[in-house]
Structure 1
Amino acid sequence: MTIHIGAAPGDIAETVLLPGDPYRAKWAAETFLSDVRQVNAVRGMLGFTGTWNGHPVTIQGSGMGMPSLSIYVNELIRDYGAQTLIRIGSCGGMQDHVGLRDVVLAMTASTVTSPSSTIFREVNFAPGADWSLLRAAVAAAEAKGTRTHVGGIYSSDTFYDERPDLNEQMVRHGILAVEMEAAELYMLAARYGRRALAVLTVSDHLITGEALASEHRESSFGDMVEIALNAAFPDAR
Structure 2
Amino acid sequence: MILAGKTVLITGGGTGIGRATAQRFAEEGADVWVAGRSRETLDETAAMIGAKCTVRVADVTEAARLEEVIDSMPALDVLVSNAAVSFAVESLVDPLEQWRKMIEVNLWGTVNACRAAGKRMVRDGRGGRIVIVSSILGELAEPGSTPYGMAKAAINQLARQLACEWAEHGILVNVVAPGFVLTPMSFASGVNELESEWCKQFFLNPERPRVPLLRPGTPEEIAEAILFFANPRNTYCTGVTLTIDGGLSIKF
TM-score normalized with structure 2 length: 0.38
Which protein has the bigger strand share? 1
**Taking structure 1 as the reference length, what is the TM-score of the superposition?**
0.40
Structure having the larger proportion of residues in helix = 2
Larger Rg: 2
Bigger RCO (CA 8 Å, 6+ sep) = 1
